[in-house]
Structure 1
Amino acid sequence: MMAEVAYIGGYTPDTNGSGPGITLVELGSLARLGETAASGPSFLAVHPTLPVLYAVGESERGTVCVFARAGDGTLSPLAQRPSEGSAPCHLAVDPTGTRLAVANYGDGTVSVHGIDGSGLLTDVWIFPYREGAHAHQAVFGPDGVLYVSDLGSDEVRRYLVGDEVVPHPAGPVRLASGMGPRHMAWSDGHWYVAGELDGTVRVYEVSGGLDDSGASGTPGVSGGEWREVAAVPAGGTGGHNQPSHLEVSGGLVYVANRGPDTISVFAGPGLEPVAEVPCGGVWPRHFAIADDRVYVANQRSDGVAVLPLKGGVPQPAEEVFAVGTPSCVLPLP
């Protein structure tokens, strides 16, 4: 691609009225480069080596769509299949490009799909509904383990991914009761987790992992023990807050706060407060950091706000890219 671009997913029909779409935008100029019809594409991911993009279709009968990416960033549909659950809200591709994990929020199921050499989906492993479960994010850790934050059960489910996909022998990680873990991120031996229900950010130190045989081995490998080392309010001044997305960049932890409509910044791993700034809109569901800017998908104000970074701290929004009910921003070089 000639310039850095981003894909924006959400819920609102595209300008042709053909259905919810994926919007392509050039980040420097914020020029709208195109739109692709898709069914409820609330979260997006790209293949690590192939020009392929994946999108969940957040509906009662969830779907996963596969798109080919042209050199100019435009998308062409390749395939669509069931997500094997309802209301899928997140998906992730493992670093090897051979597995795609989907979190189905509506019924709490998790599905893991094989990916072939062309980027199309093959076999699928399904981990079924459990009472009260609401899977919200699926991420692959540096140990190769698949971690799924379950907002409904206050735990992080773990799966071993190889020729087969199986539940981790040590079971899920139990987090603070009532926390409602939503999004999480790994950095330097720690997992950082945003609690949607109790309005906190928590950090966990990982140690005592498993080696390939399942025996106690190198710390942090294949799961390990989690120890909570800090828990702080995610933002706001005591009012209602539903933290959404969390990222770690340059040693700083960034959290989007829905309700206060802010982005909070903490220094890891102790979670010392650095700053809390307006997000440039209403109900920040997701954000991405690229080119010394934070791009915030403000779902209820129909725009992606661009906040410059100064010393790692977001500054007031300098521009807003108008797009209906954005829920995900995915920058690409």
Structure 2
Amino acid sequence: MITRLLFISILTMTVTLLSAQGTKIPLYVGTYTSDKGSKGIYEFEFDTQTGDAKLIRETETPSPSFIDRSSRFLIAANELTDGNQSISSFAITDNGLKFINKVGTGGTAPCHIVMDKERKFAVASNYLGGALDLFSLADNGEILSKEDTKTYNGSSVDKKRQEASHIHSTFIGPDKLLYVSDLGADKIYVLDVVKDKDGKLQFKEVNTLTSKLGGGPRHIAFHPNGKYLYSLLEMTGDIEVFKKVGKSWKSQQVISMRKEGFDGKSGAADLKLSSDGKFLYSTDRVDANTITVFSVARNGALKQIQVSSVFGKGPRNFNFSPDERFVLVANQLTDEIVLFNRDKKSGLLSDSGKRIKAFTPVCILF
């Protein structure tokens, strides 16, 4: 009897220990670098149960303002304008990130990077120069070559900020097509990636969406059912909802993320949908410094249900923790990541009181 109780006690302790270890996961933060601040990519150990984060190491690389990763390697967009702009690849090892190689981009200020699901290619969006770059990847994460560059020459109604194409991001839709936001032209380009007769990867134009004029599309989120596309309009602080009709998309709603009565300037930064498709979240910078929560109706329409302070300035990128219990907001101008508790049933956020110190954080990735 005593032996049996001892066995059960040891088994319980082992399960508890393994469970506790399983709550600790890597958290990577991309930044803007400087002599007085960040040197590159911060790597934290994040506790998914408590929301606590411990800095493990910092990997040097210039201004990795956006990052994407697989289980084996990480790709960073080095957002520079001095001729050294590039994308860099790092192996993910037990001892941190290990540099593999880097390749220059076809434009300047590459501000977004994304890989396809199979990790065979990466697409870099260059804010300056109107260039969209396509890179092939090896299985180990090495950037093999720049396969194609597509250059856009658009403009729109705001003569100061939309004097030329500004490619801000590329997201891959449920249909596996690329959705490219051009802030300067108020366009969303839809592209496919195909191989030419020699096996080289190429962009292929499929469609073009026109967004609200003067809005400046920045980022995109897709509903899990694939029927709705949400476009974040940086310049007006709006979200435009598109519904899929056949093989095309039709605009069906434009809704503000701003609090009623707010008359300051907006700089909408990021948006994401909860995995169940019931709630959408978006951040707004400049004068607002807020995160907004929308409920999502069955027809894809949005309804604003909460506008909360981010308790800092310059909320850039944000992300859910893997179980979506927390929302982490990167406040670029106050050098801090703020953690919100998230109620999965109501979608509403509340301040957890937890903060993660990081210099100029602009991208959060689990």
TM-score > 0.5, shorter chain as reference: yes
Question: In structure 2, what is the equivalent of residue 293 of structure 1?
Answer: 326
2:340 pairs with one of 307, 312, 317: 307
| Offset at residue 208 of structure 1 (A) | 1.4
Question: In structure 2, what is the equivalent of residue 256 of structure 1?
Answer: 283
Partner secondary structure for residue 25 of structure 1:
strand
**Aligned AA for 1:168?**
E
Correspondence 1:196-211 to 2 at 5 A: 196-209=234-247
1:9 pairs with one of 30, 47, 66: 30
| Distance verdict in 2 for CA 1:242–1:317, change over 3 Å | farther
Question: In structure 2, what is the equivalent of residue 137 of structure 1?
Answer: 169
Structure 1, unpaired ranges of 5+: 210-224
2:112 pairs with one of 71, 79, 90: 90
Question: In structure 1, what is the equivalent of residue 256 of structure 2?
Answer: 233
| Offset at residue 21 of structure 1 (A) | 0.9
Question: In structure 2, what is the equivalent of residue 26 of structure 1?
Answer: 45
> Is 1:243–2:268 an aligned residue pair?
yes
**Aligned AA for 1:204?**
F
> Is 1:280–2:311 an aligned residue pair?
yes
Judge conservation of contact 1:195–1:201 (CA < 8 Å) in 2: yes
Distance 2:26 2:203 in 1: 36
Distance 2:140 2:358 in 1: 31
| Distance verdict in 2 for CA 1:43–1:169, change over 3 Å | closer
| Offset at residue 230 of structure 1 (A) | 1.3
| Offset at residue 76 of structure 1 (A) | 0.8
Judge conservation of contact 2:126–2:132 (CA < 8 Å) in 1: yes
| Offset at residue 71 of structure 1 (A) | 3.3
Distance 1:262 1:325 in 2: 17
2:357 pairs with one of 318, 322, 330: 322
1:167 pairs with one of 192, 201, 204: 204
| Offset at residue 82 of structure 1 (A) | 0.3
C-alpha deviations, 1:7-53, integer Å up to 9, x for none? 011113488x7x73100112223111110001110000003xx5100
C-alpha deviations, 1:235-256, integer Å up to 9, x for none? 2323211111000003211000
Judge conservation of contact 1:56–1:83 (CA < 8 Å) in 2: no
Distance 1:285 1:108 in 2: 22
C-alpha deviations, 1:243-271, integer Å up to 9, x for none? 11000003211000112111101112211
Structure 2, unpaired ranges of 5+: 1-20, 155-163, 196-200
Correspondence 1:99-248 to 2 at 5 A: 99-123=121-145, 124-131=147-154, 132-163=164-195, 164-170=201-207, 172-187=208-223, 188=225, 189-209=227-247, 225-236=248-259, 237-248=262-273
Partner secondary structure for residue 300 of structure 1:
helix
TM-score by length of 1: 0.89
Judge conservation of contact 1:304–1:326 (CA < 8 Å) in 2: yes
Q: How many residues align?
A: 310
Hey, which of these two has a bigger chunk of helix by percent?
A: 2
Question: In structure 1, what is the equivalent of residue 69 of structure 2?
Answer: 46
Q: Which protein shows a greater Rg?
A: 2
Partner secondary structure for residue 162 of structure 1:
strand
C-alpha deviations, 1:133-174, integer Å up to 9, x for none? 00001111111111110100000012111223233244x211
Runs of 4 or more, structure 1, over 6 Å off, are none
Distance 1:21 1:14 in 2: 11
Judge conservation of contact 2:295–2:347 (CA < 8 Å) in 1: no
Partner secondary structure for residue 42 of structure 1:
strand
| Distance verdict in 2 for CA 1:154–1:69, change over 3 Å | same
Distance 1:192 1:165 in 2: 26
Judge conservation of contact 1:54–1:64 (CA < 8 Å) in 2: yes
| Distance verdict in 2 for CA 1:152–1:317, change over 3 Å | farther
Q: Percent identity?
A: 27
Judge conservation of contact 2:33–2:62 (CA < 8 Å) in 1: no
TM-score by length of 2: 0.81
Judge conservation of contact 2:39–2:58 (CA < 8 Å) in 1: no
**Aligned AA for 1:71?**
D
